[in-house]
Structure 1
Amino acid sequence: MESMDDGVVTPKWRKFLRVYMAVEALAFAAIFACKLNPAFTNTKTDQKPESQCSDNCLPGTRKKPGLSVHPCCYECVPCSEGEISNITERVNWMKCTEEEWPNQKKDRCIRKLLDFLSYTDNISIIFISLSVSFCIVTLLVMRIFIFYLNTPIVKANNRNLSFVLLVCILLSFLCVFLFLGQPLDITCILRVMTFGVIFSIAVSSLLAKTIMVYIAFRATKPGSYWRKWIGVTLANSIVSVCSSVQGIICLIWMSVSHPFQEMDTHSYQDKIVIQCNEGTVIGFYSVLGYMGFLAAVSFVLAFMVRTLPDSFNEAKYITFSMLVFCSVWIAMIPPYLSTRGKYMVAVEVFAILASNAGLLGCIFLPKCFVILFKPQLNTQIYMLENKKQ
């Protein structure tokens, strides 16, 4: 072997020293790298190693202890309805307010949608179109009656009541707009007031027409007691008294507990229903009950006198109109009680349009048909001959 003599390093030892120094440098570099890497270091000497057998619970879920006895093992369950979890590894849920609802991920609360029959809904557009169309038809009928004001058909059965009925039908078609849009306290009050009073005047006019038909038949007999009742005074009195009763019912209802806007946050989970609260159910059903009573009395009387001989007996047309009127409102009751929100309002609007269209079609369109297309029947001579037969 070679040795080092007098400080002289042999080539073999020089090579050995180089290898040793290289290995030592690599060792120091590895130790320095471990010091800089946090995975291999622990700055807190008292920190214990964590043990976890489940994944972290993301927002929208919470921890639920599993069947294992180890606390590190748990399940991640989704949030319940109306609750959110917006922090990872949350144990409890956060409940949204009544005006809010969780989003699809259930990690934050969002505002609930407002639900009411707005003017932009498809069904509202249909209702508006029908209401405007029926108003135009009603105005045309009024124009025809004014132009042929002194003809026998127009004068038959009190033409003043006919114009009162036409005005009521026109206003009823227009009151449909009170049921559209977001309900307010004032619109909730106007709905029931206009609906109850206008319909009562219309049905009272039909009742007065029916009574006048019966009186006119009885007054044809010589020395009849009924002659003194013929005239506009009795008809106007019937309309005034019957409609005033409905007005008093509405005033009592408004003074006790008037309708108001209501925010229903419980019927649906994801939306707020804005509707009209009737205030007191007794008042609401009193208005409907009285209107139904007038319609029933008018229907019965018109049915009884429908076969009486007269030049132009309007009672048979009133019978058909009251049959349509009563059928529509009776058929409305089941869907009205089984729906909520804007669909309940849509049922009311449909009943208003259908019942008014029945009155307009059954009473006035036959007269307009005779006036426009069969003028030979709208003469005094034909009326007298038909009355003799």
Structure 2
Amino acid sequence: MKKGDSGRISKNMDECMKCPESHYANSEKNHCLQKSVSFLAYEDSLGIALTTTALCLSVLTAVVLVVFVKHRHTPIVKANNWTLSYTLLLTLIMCFLSSLLFIGQPNTATCILQQTAFGIFFTVALSTVLAKAITVVIAFKVTVPNRKVRRLMISRAPNFIIPICTLIQLLFCGIWLITSPPFIDQNAHAEHGHIIILCNKGSAVAFHCVLGYLCFLALVSYTLAFFSRNLPDTFNEAKFLSFSMQVFFCVWITFLPVYHSTKGKVMVAMEVFSMLASSTALLSLIFGPKCYIILLRPDKNVCLDIRYKSNSKRNSGLNFI
């Protein structure tokens, strides 16, 4: 018997027997032992860390939402389109909580929900950011003689962007589930003595299409926000939108090579970490500066400050950002 062949045991001096895939040979090479089942469990140190992080971030997002609702009549909340802000915060809570679907023993339902929830919730979040970026561009860059027409354009933009972008992602997910849906898979060779249970993506092409579409939305949002970065400083959301999209884009571009180079529980943990990191970027970079002004610098959260900062700029559309 060859040295290091952990799948075979010696029956006698001249004959070896191969252990079944669900077993492995002991150190003496004379018995087959049952492999233990392994997955990213809530009880593991890695599972505990990711679960705790996801729950804390979802609670933090809920706190930010409460702050925005409580201060909804202040200038900074009104100036940053409170409807889109509420939508984004609620979606971020779902993004954080959906990462918990990747932790625990997989089953058919969770395997399907993992990818569909990931694709849909992140699409809603990014399309909301895109709606914010387009609103900024319209409010400050487009010249419309009739103020009513301008208000109509700004108010309708978010109403169409979010459902249209989400429907496109739903189409991708629908094709994915019909052609080659995710399923439970076992890997008996990734770790010695363990059978790794995880969710197979099914169609790799569909998975990369969903992820590519998210990166496309992030890139478009970043481009629009980048060209609007030099607008009035006090409530210039474009800068924070562009920063958040940069981080989001970098996280998922980095995710692909690292994801394909890992195996087992680490691969699942890497996907959860990428979800948490990208969602945290949206939360901290978009809402962090606003919460700072609302809670710590209320003296800046006044209409006079807005007018002063926007005197040198085109300020007719400021209340719609």
Q: What's the TM-score once normalised by structure 2's chain length?
A: 0.92
The one-letter code matched in structure 1 to 2:10 is S
Answer yes or no: is 1:348 the counterpart of 2:237.
Answer: no
The RMSD of aligned alpha carbons is 2.0
Compared with structure 1, are the counterparts of its residues 276 and 79 closer, same or farther at alpha carbon in structure 2 (3 Å cutoff)? closer
Which one scores higher on RCO, CA 8 angstroms, separation ≥ 6? 2
Aligned residue in 2 for 1:364: 287
Aligned mate of 2:115, from 192, 196, 202: 192
Conservation of the 8 A alpha-carbon contact between 2:228 and 2:238:
yes
Conservation of the 8 A alpha-carbon contact between 1:210 and 1:302:
yes
Aligned residue in 2 for 1:286: 209
Query: Which blocks of at least 5 consecutive residues in structure 2 are unaligned?
Result: 313-321
Give the Cα separation in 1 of the matches to 2:100 and 2:64: 22
Aligned mate of 1:157, from 80, 83, 93: 80
Percent of aligned pairs with the same residue?
42
Deviation at 1:356, TM superposition (A): 0.8
The farther-off stretch of 265-274 and 174-183 is 265-274
Deviation at 1:310, TM superposition (A): 7.1
Deviation at 1:226, TM superposition (A): 6.4
Give the Cα separation in 1 of the matches to 2:223 and 2:172: 24
Compared with structure 1, are the counterparts of its residues 245 and 114 closer, same or farther at alpha carbon in structure 2 (3 Å cutoff)? same
Answer yes or no: is 1:82 the counterpart of 2:7.
Answer: yes
Give the Cα separation in 2 of the matches to 1:240 and 1:124: 34
Answer yes or no: is 1:130 the counterpart of 2:77.
Answer: no
Rg comparison, structure with higher value: 1
Compared with structure 1, are the counterparts of its residues 283 and 152 closer, same or farther at alpha carbon in structure 2 (3 Å cutoff)? same
Give the Cα separation in 1 of the matches to 2:50 and 2:3: 43
Tell me, what secondary structure is at the counterpart of 1:105? coil
Aligned residue in 1 for 2:43: 120
The structure with the greater share of residues assigned to helix is 2
Give the Cα separation in 1 of the matches to 2:222 and 2:311: 27
Give the length in aligned residue pairs.
312
Give the Cα separation in 1 of the matches to 2:29 and 2:81: 68
Give the Cα separation in 2 of the matches to 1:78 and 1:308: 69
Conservation of the 8 A alpha-carbon contact between 1:260 and 1:276:
yes
Q: Deviations over 1:306-331 (max 9, x none)?
A: 11247622111101111111111112
Q: What's the TM-score once normalised by structure 1's chain length?
A: 0.76
Deviation at 1:221, TM superposition (A): 5.5
Query: Which blocks of at least 5 consecutive residues in structure 1 are unaligned?
Result: 1-60, 62-76
Aligned mate of 1:334, from 235, 252, 257: 257
Answer yes or no: is 1:315 the counterpart of 2:238.
Answer: yes
Tell me, what secondary structure is at the counterpart of 1:193? helix
**After the TM superposition, which residues 1-389 of structure 1 pair with which residues of structure 2 at under 5 Å, given as runs?**
80-86=5-11, 89-219=12-142, 222-223=145-146, 227=150, 229-309=152-232, 312-389=235-312
Compared with structure 1, are the counterparts of its residues 365 and 94 closer, same or farther at alpha carbon in structure 2 (3 Å cutoff)? same
Compared with structure 1, are the counterparts of its residues 178 and 149 closer, same or farther at alpha carbon in structure 2 (3 Å cutoff)? same
Aligned residue in 2 for 1:16: none
Tell me, what secondary structure is at the counterpart of 2:280? helix
Conservation of the 8 A alpha-carbon contact between 1:336 and 1:348:
yes
The farther-off stretch of 266-275 and 188-197 is 266-275
Conservation of the 8 A alpha-carbon contact between 2:144 and 2:150:
no
Conservation of the 8 A alpha-carbon contact between 2:173 and 2:210:
yes
Deviation at 1:98, TM superposition (A): 0.8
Give the Cα separation in 1 of the matches to 2:190 and 2:62: 42
